[in-house]
Structure 1
């Protein structure tokens, strides 16, 4: 017997392939990081551009008149002129203007919070014939410019004797269709089962509104508070039409009169502008968290 020999073919050496390029999850992790860096950079640049005029106003309020428009521009005062903040109270009725503005802003804000939230509860959580049509008609008044009915309003205020009194501003701004819309949108996110369960337990509609709905509406109420306060504080045309007595002027009317009288006192004008902006900035900083939350949740459900 002859033995058969089997010859094996030589096995070629295996080549070691280099690892693939960084793709997939690793690359996916890098892209969001780069996107966040770009996003934050854009936000920082935009915030700086928005805050730059306010910084220049604050810096100018601490300068002398000659150094405000000096070339090249000096962003920081060489010697802060703190006496400007004492001088503005002496040469103007700043205290009276601030007192009148705070009074109007506070009263109008409180009234709009009550009327807006109460009407929104009726539109969102109660059932009655023509509810949707009435809500649509009421919200449609937002599209009507104030200038279209400004004269009839003035005639009406004159007939009832409210012109040249702060109560004319209060009566005209105590109700807001936008406030009703904002609160109703937020109430739509609150489950109806809460109200139904309260009705089964014998709670009245007023009890449901005060004890259930309002405690759950803090973000929306904070948003409406901030928007109403800022709008009333910055209102110029309304007080200009209805408040003729200088003792009733708001900060906007007072500053306009001050600029006309002291048009060369640029440092004092900037000082008055800082004092007019400071309360609004403080209110916004205190309520910004609730403001953002309220605006975000008010549009979640129609």
Structure 2
């Protein structure tokens, strides 16, 4: 069948809107990166300079020496990587159970898990804080990581994807004597790579950018994560715009790298995760 040709005016309109959206998102990002390499005398001049005449790394050096930005960076890496790994694995296990296992009350239990999506996270802050306080987990890595490990959205997302995997593959593996853990490790996980990559991106970005929970749990500056450290820089060094832009750029770099390498899996995972019950 011959494809219908899109009118030139319609193509022009779509491309204009896309270009405008790109500029709206790209210009602030470019300005942030450019400012992070500027000398103080180049920031407030008019008309503004989009490209610094004398690029310098002094802002980044000062950020790690004066503000001690290295410790929050290490904390954020530990929290984001550990939280993402545990959350993705638990979501995959639970999603596999809800998708392929048969047990009494499965549908009601799954609906109960989905019901937690309607509860705002702010409502659980105080109860979770009190629980962690009673367990002496405040100002620890465990306190920063554990509350974000269980994800109702992750369980739902993985269940929807795993449901598309043919039952014949699992039945054949069981006939060959394979145990459940072997089936999950060697069949379910390899076939779920697009969904796992997508969920990894969602969890990693959420954990990396998390601000409110680390601000509440971390009572010591040694346990601050990058978003909290950025707020401290803004409060103590508000007049040093280049210093703030340097910290913001460091926060964004890992997210860009992760998304760049996993974008094809994200598109495939979203397209293959049907919303059927």
Structure 1 and Structure 2 fold alike (TM over 0.5)? yes
CA shift, 1:89, in A, is: 1.5
Tell me the SS of whatever aligns to 2:254: helix
In structure 2, the partner of 1:49 is: 24
In structure 1, the partner of 2:196 is: 221
In structure 2, the partner of 1:71 is: 46
Structure 1: where are the runs of 5+ without partners? 1-24
CA shift, 1:164, in A, is: 1.3
What is the total number of aligned residue pairs between the two structures?
276
**Structure-2 change in CA distance of 1:274 and 1:199 (3 Å):** same
CA shift, 1:44, in A, is: 3.0
State TM-score, norm by structure 2.
Answer: 0.93
In structure 2, how many angstroms separate the alpha carbons of the residues matched to 1:270 and 1:60?
A: 6
**Structure-2 change in CA distance of 1:214 and 1:79 (3 Å):** same
CA shift, 1:29, in A, is: 5.4
**Structure-2 change in CA distance of 1:201 and 1:35 (3 Å):** farther
In structure 1, the partner of 2:252 is: 277
Larger-gyration structure (1/2): 1
Root-mean-square deviation over aligned CA pairs: 1.8
Structure 2: where are the runs of 5+ without partners? none
Q: Deviations 1:159-181 (Å, cap 9, x if unpaired)?
A: 11101111112111111111111
In structure 2, how many angstroms separate the alpha carbons of the residues matched to 1:132 and 1:49?
A: 44
Contact 1:239 1:249 in 2 (8 A): yes
Contact 1:236 1:253 in 2 (8 A): yes
Contact 1:189 1:301 in 2 (8 A): no
CA shift, 1:36, in A, is: 4.7
Query: Residue 244 of structure 1 is aligned with which of 216, 219, 229?
Result: 219
Query: Residue 267 of structure 1 is aligned with which of 236, 242, 255?
Result: 242
In structure 2, how many angstroms separate the alpha carbons of the residues matched to 1:237 and 1:113?
A: 22
CA shift, 1:41, in A, is: 4.0
In structure 2, the partner of 1:211 is: 186
